[in-house]
Amino acid sequence: MKAARVGFLDLCPVALVLLTTFVGPPARAELCSADAVPAATLLLPYFEVDVANSNGKTTVFSVNNVVPQATLAHVTLWTDFAWPTLNFDVYLTGYDVQTFNLRDLLHGVLPQTAIASQDPGDGISPRGSLSEDTDFPGCPIVNVAPPVLGDALIRAHQGLESPAYGGCVALPREDGLARGYVTVDVVSRCSILPPSDEAYYSGVLARDNRLWGSYFYVDPAGNSAQQENLVHIEACEPTAIGTPPPDSCGSGFGPGDYTFYGRYTAAAADQREPLPSTFALSYLEGGAFDGGTRLAVWRDTKVRQRVTGACPARWLALGERRVDSFDEEENADSHCQSGSADPAVPCFGLATQLYEVGNTPNGGFLFPQSPFGWLFLNLSHDLATNDPFPGRAQAWVTTVLSASGRYSVATDAVALDDLCSPDAGQGSVSSP
pLDDT tens by residue, 364-383: 568 888 889 999 999 999 99
Give the 3-state secondary structure percentages of the chain, helix then strand then coil, rounded to 5. Answer: 10, 30, 60
- pLDDT bin (cut points 50, 70, 90) of residue 338 is very low
Give the tens place of pLDDT for each residue, 247-260: 456 678 999 899 99
At 95 the pLDDT is: 97
The answer to whether 276 touches 418, Cβ cutoff 8 Å, is yes
Closest CA to 77 of 47, 36, 40: 47
Phi-psi region of 423 (alpha: psi -120 to 50; beta: other; left: phi over 0): alpha
At 259 the pLDDT is: 96
At 33 the pLDDT is: 87
Mean of the per-residue pLDDT values for the chain? 84
The answer to whether 139 touches 115, Cβ cutoff 8 Å, is yes
Residue 247 or residue 236, greater confidence? 236
At 312 the pLDDT is: 80
Cross-strand partners of 21: none
At 6 the pLDDT is: 40
Mean pLDDT over residues 311-332, rounded?
A: 88
CA distance 216 to 296: 13
Single-letter amino acid code for the residue at 253: F
Phi, psi of 294 (to 5 degrees): -120, 145
CA distance 40 to 42: 7
- pLDDT bin (cut points 50, 70, 90) of residue 360 is low
Give the HSE-up count for residue 86: Cα atoms under 13 Å, Cβ half-sphere.
Answer: 27
pTM above 0.75, yes or no: yes
What single-letter DSSP state applies at residue 292? -
- pLDDT bin (cut points 50, 70, 90) of residue 307 is confident
